[in-house]
Amino acid sequence: MAYGSRSTRFIPRLEALDGRALPSVTAVEVGGVLTITGDQWANNIEIRDTGGAGTDAVTVWVDGTQLDVTVDNPVEKVVLYGRSGQDVVSYNLTGNFTDGTDRKVVVFLGNQDDTFTADLGGSIGADSDVTLKVYGCNGQDNLSVTGAGTVDAPWSVDGHLTIGLFGGNGKDTVDVNYTGLISGTFDLTVGGGNGKDFLRADVTAVDGSTGTLKAKVCGGNGVDDVGLIVAADGSPDLTIDAHLHGGLGKDVFDPTAISDNVTIVDAQVH
């Protein structure tokens, strides 16, 4: 009598890891430089800055949760690489820069249609130098910066504040709306790059400002819609250097989006 044999085979299977996910955003601090790196997916990243000089002054939040980052040195510079994915990135200043604290924040949004917002909710102390530069890179990006304070207690720029927003490739929207008492130096540059961009900058110097305001809006390549308003009627001692450059392409501006103290080059009324 013959008996058949039964063989068993091991068939590997992939088991889902419920409730667990690999981190999509990393942050590393080396020598006072905090580097934040996204991935190929859509990331929601917030940089919170108290304006202080301690190792806990700058924190990184991803999807509303604080990222666990080892910071051994006071952060002097923050560099963010969004990489691919439709990212939402924000920088929020929640306090004043004092005691000569300096900070430089540089953001590269990368590919896809990204969004960047900044709320400058604090003053720049007399001995502080603060820089914020954002590059949209590729995609149809939306970049904006705001800062005001209150009517009775506006933010002040006593030191040096530099803001640069650059759309890059694609049909970008870039907007700056800032109000402050300027007794130091405020340098502002808004650039469109390639594509049909919409660019606006509106700066209000609080009465009694005596510093220097340099503001420039540059359309770049493409048919851009540009505008620059500098309101400083109550600050006769403020030094103003304001220029609007259309760049290459048939650029246009809305007369209601230009103040009389702005020099216009290569742009026409639409």
| Residue ranges of E strands in 10-76 | 26-30, 33-37, 44-49, 58-62, 65-66
Secondary structure of residue 128 in the 3-state scheme: coil
Instruction: State whether the Cα torsion 230-231-236-238 is positive or negative.
Output: negative
Secondary structure of residue 224 in the 3-state scheme: coil
Q: What is the pTM of this model?
A: 0.88
pLDDT tens digits for the chain (270 residues)?
454 555 555 555 545 444 434 548 999 999 999 999 998 899 999 999 999 999 999 999 999 999 999 999 999 999 999 988 889 999 999 999 987 999 999 999 988 899 999 999 999 999 999 999 999 988 889 999 999 988 788 899 999 999 999 998 888 899 999 999 999 999 999 998 787 889 999 999 999 999 999 999 998 777 889 999 999 999 999 999 999 988 766 767 788 999 999 999 877 777
CA distance 218 to 256: 18
Secondary structure of residue 74 in the 3-state scheme: coil
Cβ neighbours for 22, distance < 8 A, ≥ 6 positions apart: none
CA distance 145 to 174: 9
CA distance 91 to 62: 12
CA distance to 35, 145, 246, per residue, from 177 (Å): 27, 6, 20
Nearest to 82 by CA among 115, 57, 59: 115
Pull the structure tokens for residue 189.
């540059």
Residue boundaries of the structural domains of the chain: 26-269
Nearest to 247 by CA among 215, 217, 220: 220
